[in-house]
Structure 1
């Protein structure tokens, strides 16, 4: 059994909020830290929604929900957030400078025994190990969105990670109901995002370049992957448009990928600038809580009345 009883999640966004809630649900004391009171207020609202989701989807009792809520705290004071913590889970924006700054501010505030993990979706832990001030107690622990349903975490070491750190982190993952996926070699994107970012970027390219509508992209995916409940455009809504934008922007510049940068610009113009962050705000490529892809007829053979619209879209290729 791990000694990681008290956790702090840095960043109260979509996934950070899920990690804090789920860890508390599994019996851990959890502090949510963010620099913005507004962000914390949004996180509290999300947690109220998770209370309903956990009761509806996994049969959580009212008593379990109340105990979960009692284990949660929220603060904008970094020193307070990490004063007595066993494990810090960093889930701040996917921007290297921001991550480095947070680690450097936090380093002198931590108890000596505290472990740190990054929930980065594409960046390597080695890039931030020195900034933590305790590289032997640092590794990656990357979660998937919809944590209560997609219960996996990827564990990636850097050259200086102690085996004891990996052991405690793996035990923590299992104690909180996660399936650990050990990444055997350092890899940007780990396992999940190596294929997901490629899928997301390819799907977004089809939309950015006017090749297909978002709905048609998702229909193509879902028909060819029987049993899947969500396509790549819907996945982007779940991940959050800000994260999609950050990933496309960063890797677009790193790889000098003009298409990826064009995709980032499309996301900014069509979503971020309009306050549409995806599932988090109730609208992205789809509107929630009842997105079009959840309709029983989304993958049905259309009626003949759909032919004019099909022709209108197909005829665009002639221009």
Structure 2
């Protein structure tokens, strides 16, 4: 039984909204924070869409009213002090910009109660890059989710040398309480477990398509047929959304940067960002 009861999620983008909604769906009171009311209005639409998706995907209990009940456990706020005033746990899911995260945590450390645990959902930054800005490195760690959280329900928990073991254990218990499979990571590793495996795989797929060896659909077919996997790499990229992989590839070696430029020119610049926009490597009906 977790001692975390009240949760605030900073950021209502694709994954931030999923984290907040899944937490509310699991019975917790949630505050969803973002920078202004206009962004939050879009978030409300996104949350309504998640409720419908949970029903359509037959998530246990969703069709029996649980999906709608979850919406009633979410409060929206564009005032950071208000959003975190009662929080036991704050999960940060804001853009992958180190200075922005540091500035946010510096403010958060002054506003949140002393007992509040801070967790970053960053997929590219190590928690030790951020910990000193929090003012409470013993109560800070990483809690990393995969996109489509209700289906791909891993939660990677990674602390720093300063993270209190009791805090680590508490977040592991919380992850389990919201329907995740906790993956404790024993020391810091860029990419955690998931992205340490996934990023080289996606880079290899990008090389095959960008350098003209095979079409994305044929790469996916090969992977699915030969391994029995449910999705190929380009289908996975569409689920993630192309912007995040592009940003990660842009900081790689020269070859990886070349693949990033191919994704940008052929897809992102044309508005093809993945499932969320209705088109990426594939076309989707909304």
TM beyond 0.5: yes
Alpha-carbon separation, structure 2, partners of 1:137 and 1:148:
27
Residue 231 of structure 1 is matched in structure 2 by: 232
Unaligned runs of 5+ in 1: 291-319
- Between 89-98 and 120-129, report the one with greater CA deviation: 89-98
Decide whether the 8 Å contact of 2:172 with 2:184 is kept in 1.
no
Residue 288 of structure 1 is matched in structure 2 by: 284
- Number of corresponding residues: 284
Alpha-carbon separation, structure 2, partners of 1:37 and 1:260:
38
Report deviation, 1:129: 0.5
Alpha-carbon separation, structure 2, partners of 1:36 and 1:275:
25
Residue 47 of structure 1 is matched in structure 2 by: 47
Residue 153 of structure 2 is matched in structure 1 by: 151
Which of the pair has more CA radius of gyration?
1
Decide whether the 8 Å contact of 2:237 with 2:274 is kept in 1.
yes
Decide whether the 8 Å contact of 1:94 with 1:247 is kept in 2.
no
| SS of equivalent to 2:65 | helix
Alpha-carbon separation, structure 2, partners of 1:136 and 1:203:
40
CA, structure 1 residues 109+272, in 2 after alignment: closer, same or farther (shift >3 Å)? farther
Residue 209 of structure 1 is matched in structure 2 by: 211
Could you report, residue by residue, the CA deviation over 1:28-87 in whole angstroms, capped at 9, with x for unpaired residues?
A: 111222225454333322222221221232241342122200011222222222121111
Residue 179 of structure 1 is matched in structure 2 by: 181
Alpha-carbon separation, structure 2, partners of 1:212 and 1:81:
49
1:76-225 to 2 correspondences below 5 Å? 76-225=78-227
Alpha-carbon separation, structure 1, partners of 2:15 and 2:22:
10
Alpha-carbon separation, structure 2, partners of 1:37 and 1:205:
41
| SS of equivalent to 1:3 | coil
Report deviation, 1:160: 0.1
CA, structure 1 residues 100+279, in 2 after alignment: closer, same or farther (shift >3 Å)? same
CA, structure 1 residues 224+39, in 2 after alignment: closer, same or farther (shift >3 Å)? farther
1:17-96 to 2 correspondences below 5 Å? 17-56=17-56, 57-59=58-60, 60-96=62-98
Residue 5 of structure 1 is matched in structure 2 by: 5
| SS of equivalent to 1:245 | helix
Report deviation, 1:288: 1.7
- Between 18-27 and 101-110, report the one with greater CA deviation: 101-110
Residue of 270, 274, 278 corresponding to 2:270: 274
Q: What TM-score does the superposition give when structure 2 sets the normalisation length?
A: 0.93
Residue 241 of structure 1 is matched in structure 2 by: 242
Alpha-carbon separation, structure 1, partners of 2:107 and 2:269:
30
Could you report, residue by residue, the CA deviation over 1:151-195 in whole angstroms, capped at 9, with x for unpaired residues?
A: 111111100000111111011011111111111221100100001
Report deviation, 1:10: 1.4
| SS of equivalent to 1:142 | strand
